[in-house]
């Protein structure tokens, strides 16, 4: 009987330890959940604000400038041109190549409202950027000369 009581006490102590550990894990999960919930709410607020800005820009384009529709290729190309104009360059050859494709697609679109000279200048900038990325990559992997 004494042996069974001691075993029962050990089992109870083990269970107590497991319960304490589980409670600590639960507290961590709840803290993570609250942090994710707060982040989600902040992101939802940013989405609402961006939607309002989008609606305002669409209204301005339509009612103030008479622009009914913008080709998707123009939107993508304008984003690339904005990044180039504001020196927000990429370090990824893959992304730079994607930029080049977007600019060329907009240049080939007859409905594009972007000045072809601006697109050509952007294309040249992206080509130069790709060449710089290639050179830097080559220099990194070249290693020390013997």
DSSP code for 114: S
For the chain, give the number of residues: 146
The pTM (predicted TM-score) of the whole model is: 0.65
* Tens place of pLDDT per residue across the chain (146 aa): 999 999 999 999 999 999 999 999 999 999 999 999 999 999 999 999 999 999 999 999 999 998 888 899 999 999 999 999 999 999 999 999 999 999 999 999 998 999 999 999 999 999 999 999 999 888 888 766 55
Residue 137's Cβ-side half-sphere holds a number of Cα atoms within 13 Å equal to 10
Closest listed residue to residue 84, CA positions, set 116, 48, 120: 120
Question: Is 126 in contact with 96 (CB distance < 8 Å)?
Answer: yes
Say how far apart CA 10 and CA 16 lie, in whole Å: 10
CA distances from 127 to 5, 85, 92, 93, 135 (A): 80, 15, 13, 10, 12
**134 token code pair:** 């290639």
């Amino acid at each position: 009987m004494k042996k069974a009581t001691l075993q029962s006490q050990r089992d109870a102590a083990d269970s107590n330890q497991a319960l304490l550990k589980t409670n600590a894990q639960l507290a961590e999960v709840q803290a993570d959940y609250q942090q994710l919930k707060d982040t989600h709410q902040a992101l939802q607020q940013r989405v609402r604000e961006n939607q309002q800005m989008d609606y305002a820009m669409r209204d301005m384009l339509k009612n103030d400038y008479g622009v009914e529709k913008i080709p998707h290729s123009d939107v993508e190309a304008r984003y690339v041109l904005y990044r180039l104009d504001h020196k927000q360059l990429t370090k990824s050859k893959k992304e730079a190549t994607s930029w080049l494709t977007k600019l060329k697609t907009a240049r080939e679109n007859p409905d594009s409202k972007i000045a072809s000279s601006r697109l050509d200048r952007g294309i040249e900038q992206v080509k130069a950027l790709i060449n710089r990325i290639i050179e830097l990559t080559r220099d990194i992997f070249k290693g020390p000369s013997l």
